Homo-oligomer: A and B are copies of this chain.
Amino acid sequence: MNINYNLVGLGFIGKIHLMAMNNFNLLDLPIESPIIKNQIVTRNPVDRLSVAKSLGFERTVDSESICFGNDDIQLLDICSPNIYHKDLILKALEAGANIYCEKPLSMNDSETKEILNRYSNSKSKIQLCYTLRYIPAFAKARAAIENNAIGEITSFRIEYYHSSYLNTDKPYAWRLDKEISGGGALYDLGSHAFDILQFLVEPVKEVMCFTDTFVKTRKDSEGNEKTVTVDDWALTHVHTSSNIKGTVEVSRIAVGDDGIRVRIYGTKGSVFVDVYDNPLDVKYYNFLGNKIHLHEDYYNDNSYYKHMIKFYPSPKMSQGFFMDSHIASLASFLYQIENDIVVDKAPSINQCKNIEGILDACQKSVDTKSFEKISI
């Protein structure tokens, strides 16, 4: 059976998905089915046809005309703006097509509930692009924690820092309008940070979030001064279900400190992941504070690690952790579809809903200036 691949959106992230997929055949991934690039879904099917052809697709359609067949494995890869997610997902669910969707799932809670309702009666599989879970260092860290390498977790600190927005000359763009983008650093970077927190530690119970917008106005491309309506920094105090306390900080102004850094402290040791520094390995400290080597026995037999590492390109064939984790994420999803299995700890639709719940509580706490519980 072939995998019939259909893509919505040819912006930055859509291109990344395609680049990831284009080299599947050269990477010895355990995907058996040939992938057929079928439709590009676009508002301008006629105009985009030649581009689509040059990228190897068979045709272009508008979102009304998407057509899933019955014979092959059908996949819809959604990289469109968030406002189109719900309708696209419902259409795919109805057709029984599988859905690979960029985060977030939808624009708000009621949309998400509608999706979940339909999903529960569907044979489709859905995976969201929480790609940090497909970085080996995080998979190793999780396995090590599960295998008691650090004892009981006492605290954590997660940093996801970008820096380009400190530049006051950076022009205004739609990302800085909350109505369109949904949010700023908290939504864009925080969603990944909370995902990896829950992946490594446990569910979040309550949060108190501080946000700020350090650059408050920017000029758009025509020189008009526009007000920035999203945060460019957010620091969240987090209490987890068993009351472990820690912080999640995201920033778009952290000049000199770009990075994704996760520190988990425990009674018997600590594990750190610094993705930009080393996406393949974890730094491990024993309880005396000595940096030691994390023995491979801590993760080699872990079921999630064993699964994900099969889909992550070998170091010699690496295309950088960003591409490699997108490759592993998509390939892992195709493998689950092909073999009709569900892999525990792959980013399920329920986990995604939960992350959106955390972000909502963060936003609420900014206004109430107190801890807010995550609604379930």
Contacts and interface: CB of A to CB of B under 8 A. Distances in A.
Contact of A214 (B155, B237, B272, B319): B155
Interface residues of A, number: 58
Contacts of A22: 22-23, 26
A345 interface: no
A267 interface: yes
Given A34-B54, A167-B287, 18 more contacts: A19-B23, A19-B26, A19-B317, A22-B26, A25-B54, A56-B56, A154-B166, A155-B212, A155-B214, A166-B287, A167-B289, A168-B287, A212-B245, A256-B285, A290-B293, A291-B293, A318-B322, A320-B323
A22 B18 CA distance: 10
Contacts of A16: 317
A338 B185 CA distance: 44
Nearest to A53: B34
A186 to B, nearest CB: 15
A174 interface: no
Interface in A15-55: 15-16, 18-19, 22-23, 25-26, 34, 54-55
Contacts of A272: 256
Copy count, this protein chain: 4
A260 to B, nearest CB: 15
Given A168-B287, A289-B166, A293-B291, A214 B265 contact: yes
Interface in A232-280: 233, 235, 237, 245, 247, 253, 255-257, 263, 265, 267, 270, 272
B292 A292 contact: yes
A113 interface: no
Nearest to A35: B54
Of the candidates A12, A16, A290, the one having the most CB atoms from chain B within 10 angstroms of its own CB is A290
A227 interface: no
A147 interface: no
Given A214-B155, A285-B256, A320-B318, A26 B12 contact: no
8 tightest A-B CB contacts, nearest first: A319-B319, A292-B293, A320-B320, A154-B214, A22-B22, A19-B23, A255-B289, A15-B26
Contacts of A226: none
Contacts of A320: 318-320, 323
Interface in A178-228: 210, 212, 214-215
Interface string A147-166: 00000001100000001101
B253 A154 contact: yes
Contacts of A168: 267, 287
A26 B18 contact: yes
Contacts of A293: 286, 290-293
A71 interface: no
Nearest to A292: B293
Given A247-B235, A289-B166, A55 B256 contact: no
A344 interface: no
10 contacts: A15-B26, A22-B23, A22-B26, A154-B166, A163-B289, A167-B287, A255-B265, A255-B285, A256-B285, A290-B293
